[in-house]
């Protein structure tokens, strides 16, 4: 029989720390919140690599009195709650007085702080939660805290950290959200010596968005401001023609806190239901204010989830705010450009797909009936913004994929998909015996009768390989489509410079790119078979490949060809015309294609003899 023992304080602290401090980004979130709570007007976050070895947060807030500095690092030490009357506030603010103690338990800390007007400040250092030094110090007013060697004493957690790049982007995302929720604070993020974000702190949400998300994003925004008795929604939504291929630019804040919410996401997207083709997502920066009694924040301190006492109240708040903004905009904006663009690329009429997903409830105007939130969840699954949803797979914008076989023929200048990749070699293949395409199974496999066998061909893999070989052969002339409205892709500065440095290579591949500010490029042409919506992902993949050190040039090139081929290939799960199926089958059966670029087989043969044997003939 084992004995119940009480954990010693150190172990208990480490366990508690694990709950607050999951990764460097959670440290940054807590420190930023502390600075903002301290009334700072200027906060700077600096990090090296992924923040594992160095994070520094500097603010010009109220500082900490010398008598209080040690206390601040004790568990349950807070200046923000007093006694039991404050306890209620835990419901709205989450735990209190945990963060500094938790961070200190798993790192080495240096703190410098001086209260405004005080003649000197104080410096404190801690290692694994124990004070290792304290002395008076000359320092600027406000607080500077440096966190080094995060998780140095918890190797198990250290193992779970992702790459520096991943941790560093998680920090950037945290800083971004925090900065967007506090336009009154000037927030600066410096990653590896380079300023990544710098907001003016002029209390204007528009200038804050502009500085964080850039000119093109800002240009596509519509302001919205609406309130009813319980919920106020203010901020910006994207115009329909500024929609994106994912949800990563949907930012919601409730009472100043960044939150993720399927309910709010559903509300926003439903307002766009008849305006956007499926697979395109609106963006937004929306600040929702409500009486704290209407929400329950999850009491886990690191979580960004929230519970609404009434989902419907909040759904309607966001839905009508967005719808109102869209309606006002419709009255003033002429959408001619977008319609031309859509016609060019064979995009289904805006909203057709959506209407079918949302059912007959999806009409705008006063007769609107909200889709129930649970229904939305069922239909759109994943709660992870940006992770895509069932809607995404159906949503190829442009190209024949959008509308199935019928669209192929109506494409401007479009021949069948295979022909468009290999226009140079149109000669029919010579076969000893004719083959017969029996049909397509599961919208994925072509079934062909050929000689004494039945063949199954994976149409995506086959097409991908054909495209890949064509690219690799070098004598491939990319057929590309000029975009009437260039696609603006936002990438980090480093990526932008890599893409521009390789503009010639990209040109050979069918992409024309131009500089568009420090952290964006404008794409004016893309290869014929790439969906507009895939432009950004495919360029990101190419860029990642170009930036990858260490591997052989030829291997990198193959990887680039393979990403393009994969995006350009017809997708499994979409039905294809007989002509496309025949064209693919002929390439495979003539022996041109054996494996997809990833090495998976493309075709699979069952001989008549084997079938006969199976039937005991």
Interface contacts to ligand ADP, rule CB under 6 A: 30, 34-35, 37-38, 59, 61-64, 72, 77-80, 96-101, 143
Residue closest to 40 by CA, chosen among 276, 157, 238, 201: 201
Among Mg ion, ligand ADP, none, partner that 97 touches (CB below 5 to 8 angstroms by kind): ligand ADP
34 binds Mg ion (CB under 5 A): yes
Among residues 98 and 311, whose Cβ is nearest to ligand ADP? Answer: 98
User: Largest Cα–Cα distance in the chain?
Assistant: 101
CA 508 to chain CA centroid, Å, is 29
On whether the CB atoms of residues 350 and 276 are closer than 8 A, the answer is yes
Q: Which is nearer to Mg ion, 34 or 559 (CB)?
A: 34
Nearer to ligand ADP, 95 or 210 (CB): 95
Nearer to ligand ADP, 44 or 224 (CB): 44
Minimal distance in Å, beta carbon 541 to ligand ADP?
40
Closer by beta carbon to ligand ADP, 81 or else 190: 81
Closer to ligand ADP by CB, 75 or 525: give it.
Answer: 75
From ligand ADP, Mg ion, none, which one binds at residue 391 (CB under 5 to 8 Å depending on kind)? none
200 binds, among Mg ion, ligand ADP, none (CB under 5 to 8 A by kind): none
Q: Which residues does 52 contact at the CB level (< 8 Å), separation at least 6?
A: 24, 149, 150, 151, 161, 164, 167
Judged by CB under 5 A, the stretch of 26-34, 243-251, 273-281, 448-456 that binds Mg ion is 26-34
**Cβ-proximal residue to Mg ion, closest one:** 99
Please, what is the minimum distance in Å from the beta carbon of residue 212 to ligand ADP?
A: 22
Structure tokens at 195: 């300023």
Residue 44 or 283 having the CB closest to ligand ADP: 44
Distance CA 256, CA 92 (A): 11
Radius of gyration (Cα) for the chain, nearest Å?
A: 29
Burial class (CB in 10 A: 0-12, 13-18, 19+), 612: exposed
The answer to whether 475 touches 587, Cβ cutoff 8 Å, is no
Closest distance to Mg ion from the beta carbon of 34 (Å): 4
Residues near 238 by beta carbon (within 8 Å), at least 6 away in sequence: 217, 220, 221, 222, 244, 249, 282, 283, 284
Question: Which residue's CB is nearer to ligand ADP, number 96 or number 557?
Answer: 96
Which residue reads 């924040």 in tokens? 297
Using the minimum distance from each CB to Mg ion, give the nearer residue, 142 or 478.
142
Q: State the nearest-atom distance from the C-beta of 256 to ligand ADP, in Å.
A: 15
Question: Which does residue 78 touch among ligand ADP, Mg ion, none (CB within 5 to 8 A, set by kind)?
Answer: ligand ADP
Which segment (29-37, 110-118, 500-508, 533-541) binds Mg ion by CB under 5 A?
A: 29-37
Q: CA-based angle 262:240:286, to the nearest 5?
A: 45
Per partner kind, with CB cut-offs from 5 to 8 A, the member of Mg ion, ligand ADP, none near residue 538 is none
Give the Cα separation of 387 and 156 in Å (integer).
Answer: 28
413 Cβ neighbours under 8 A, 6+ residues apart: none
Contact positions with Mg ion (CB under 5 A) in 254-313: none
Q: Which does 175 bind (CB under 5 to 8 A by kind): Mg ion, ligand ADP, none?
A: none
Give me the least distance between CB of 120 and ligand ADP, in Å please.
16
Rounded Cα distance, 207 and 199, in Å: 8
Which residue lies nearer to ligand ADP by CB, 34 or 562? Answer: 34
SS (H, E, C) 550-606: CCCHHHHHHHHHHHHHHHHCCCCCCCCCHHHHHHHHHHHHCCCCCECCCCCECEEEE
Instruction: Report in angstroms how near the CB of residue 336 gets to ligand ADP at its nearest.
Output: 52
Return the sign of the alpha-carbon dihedral for residues 558, 559, 565, 571: positive
With contacts defined by CB under 5 A, name the span among 92-100, 296-304, 365-373, 530-538 that binds Mg ion: 92-100
224 membership: H or E segment, kind and range = strand 221-227
Residue 43 interaction partner, one of ligand ADP, Mg ion, none, beta carbon < 5-8 Å per kind: none
Nearer to Mg ion, 34 or 238 (CB): 34
Give which of Mg ion, ligand ADP, none residue 35 binds (C-beta under 5 to 8 Å, depending on kind).
ligand ADP
Task: Using alpha carbons, list the distances in angstroms from residue 437 to 370, 385, 570, 571.
Answer: 46, 41, 17, 19
> What does the alpha-carbon distance between residue 478 and residue 471 come to, in Å, rounded to a whole number?
8
431 CB-near residues (< 8 Å, 6+ apart): 450, 586, 589, 590
- Closest approach, Cβ 131 to Mg ion, in A, equals 19
Among 2-10, 93-101, 308-316, 592-600, the segment contacting Mg ion (CB under 5 A): 93-101
For residue 33, the minimal CB distance to Mg ion (Å) is: 5
CB of 111 to ligand ADP, least distance (A): 9
Q: How far is the CB of 30 from Mg ion (least distance, A)?
A: 5
What is the smallest separation between the CB atom of 70 and ligand ADP, expressed in angstroms? 11
Minimum Å gap between C-beta 12 and ligand ADP is 16
Only one of the segments 64-72, 95-103, 338-346, 480-488 lies at the binding site for Mg ion (rule: CB under 5 A); that segment is 95-103
208-232 residues labelled b (16+ CB within 10 A) or e (exposed): bbbbbbbebbbebbbebebeeebbe
Question: In the bound complex, what is the minimum distance in angstroms from residue 100's beta carbon to ligand ADP?
Answer: 3
Footprint of Mg ion on 97-126 (CB under 5 A): 99
Full DSSP string of 1-66 = -PPP-PPPHHHHHHHHHHHH-SSHHHHHHHHHHHHHHTT-SEEEEEEETTSSSEEEEEE-S----T
The total of other beta-carbon atoms located within 10 Å of residue 617's CB is 8
59 binds, among Mg ion, ligand ADP, none (CB under 5 to 8 A by kind): ligand ADP
Answer for the pair 300, 94: CB distance below 8 angstroms, yes or no.
yes
- Could you tell me the smallest distance in angstroms from the CB atom of residue 142 to ligand ADP? 7
Residue 35 or 559: which CB sits closer to Mg ion?
35
- Alpha carbon distances (Å) from 320 to 172, 328, 333, 369, 510: 31, 12, 20, 12, 42
When CB distances are held under 5 to 8 angstroms depending on the partner's kind, the choice from ligand ADP, Mg ion, none that residue 398 binds is: none
Closer by beta carbon to ligand ADP, 93 or else 231: 93
The residue behind tokens 């399927």 is 262
Q: Which does 581 bind (CB under 5 to 8 A by kind): ligand ADP, Mg ion, none?
A: none
Q: What are phi and psi of 41, to 5 degrees?
A: -100, -15
Residues at the interface with Mg ion (CB under 5 A): 34, 99
């Amino acid at each position: 029989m084992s004995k119940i023992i009480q954990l010693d304080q150190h172990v208990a602290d480490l366990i508690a720390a694990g709950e607050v401090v999951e990764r460097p980004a959670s440290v940054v979130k807590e420190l930023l919140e502390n600075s903002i709570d301290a009334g700072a007007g200027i906060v700077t976050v600096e990090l090296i690599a992924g923040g594992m070895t160095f994070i520094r947060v500097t603010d010009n807030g109220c500082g900490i009195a010398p008598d209080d500095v040690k206390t601040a690092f004790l568990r349950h030490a807070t200046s923000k709650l007093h006694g039991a009357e404050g306890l209620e506030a835990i419901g709205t603010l989450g735990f209190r007085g945990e963060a500094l103690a938790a961070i200190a338990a798993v790192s080495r800390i240096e703190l410098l702080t001086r209260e405004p007007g005080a003649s000197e400040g104080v410096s404190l250092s801690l290692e694994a939660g124990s004070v290792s030094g304290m002395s008076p110090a000359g320092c600027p007013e406000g607080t500077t805290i440096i966190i080094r060697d995060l998780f140095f004493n918890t190797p198990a957690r250290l193992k779970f950290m992702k790459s520096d790049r991943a941790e560093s982007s998680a920090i950037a995302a945290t800083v971004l959200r925090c900065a967007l929720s506090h336009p009154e604070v000037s927030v600066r993020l410096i990653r590896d010596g380079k300023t990544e974000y710098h907001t003016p702190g002029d209390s204007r949400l528009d200038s804050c968005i502009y500085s964080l998300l850039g000119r093109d994003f800002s240009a596509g925004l519509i302001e919205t401001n609406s309130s009813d008795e319980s919920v106020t929604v203010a901020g910006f939504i994207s115009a329909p023609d500024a929609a994106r291929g994912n949800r990563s630019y949907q930012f919601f804040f409730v009472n100043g806190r960044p939150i993720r919410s399927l309910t709010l996401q559903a509300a926003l997207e439903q307002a766009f239901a008849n305006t956007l083709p499926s697979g395109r997502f609106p963006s937004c920066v929306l600040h929702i204010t409500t009486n704290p009694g209407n929400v329950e924040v999850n009491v886990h301190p690191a979580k960004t989830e929230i519970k609404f006492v009434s989902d419907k109240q909040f759904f309607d708040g966001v839905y009508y705010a967005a719808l109102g903004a869209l309606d006002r905009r419709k009255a003033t904006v002429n959408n001619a450009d977008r319609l031309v663009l859509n016609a060019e690329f064979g995009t289904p009429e805006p909203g057709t797909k959506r209407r079918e997903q949302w059912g007959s409830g999806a009409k705008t105007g006063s007769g609107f009936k909200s889709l129930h939130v649970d229904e939305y969840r069922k239909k759109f699954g994943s709660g992870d913004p940006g992770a895509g949803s069932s809607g995404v797979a159906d949503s190829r914008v442009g190209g024949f994929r959008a509308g199935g076989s019928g669209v192929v023929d109506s494409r401007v200048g479009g021949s069948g998909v295979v022909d468009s990749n290999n226009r140079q070699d149109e000669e029919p293949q010579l076969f000893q015996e004719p083959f017969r395409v029996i049909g397509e199974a599961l919208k994925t496999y072509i079934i062909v009768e050929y000689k004494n066998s039945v063949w199954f061909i994976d149409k995506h893999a086959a097409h991908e390989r054909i495209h890949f070989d064509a690219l690799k052969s070098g004598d491939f002339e990319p057929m590309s489509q000029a975009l009437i409205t260039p696609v603006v892709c936002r990438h980090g500065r480093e990526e932008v410079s890599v893409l521009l440095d390789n503009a010639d290579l990209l040109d050979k591949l069918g992409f024309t790119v131009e500089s568009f500010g420090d952290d964006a490029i404008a794409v004016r042409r893309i290869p014929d078979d790439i969906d507009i919506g895939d432009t950004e992902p495919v360029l990101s993949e190419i860029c990642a490949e170009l930036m990858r050190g260490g591997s052989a040039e030829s291997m990198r090139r193959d990887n680039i060809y393979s990403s393009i081929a994969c995006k350009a290939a017809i997708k499994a799960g979409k039905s294809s015309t007989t002509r496309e199926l025949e064209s693919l089958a002929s390439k495979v059966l003539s022996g041109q294609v054996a494996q997809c670029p990833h090495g998976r087989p493309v075709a699979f043969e069952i001989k008549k003899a084997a079938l006969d044997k199976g039937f005991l003939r």
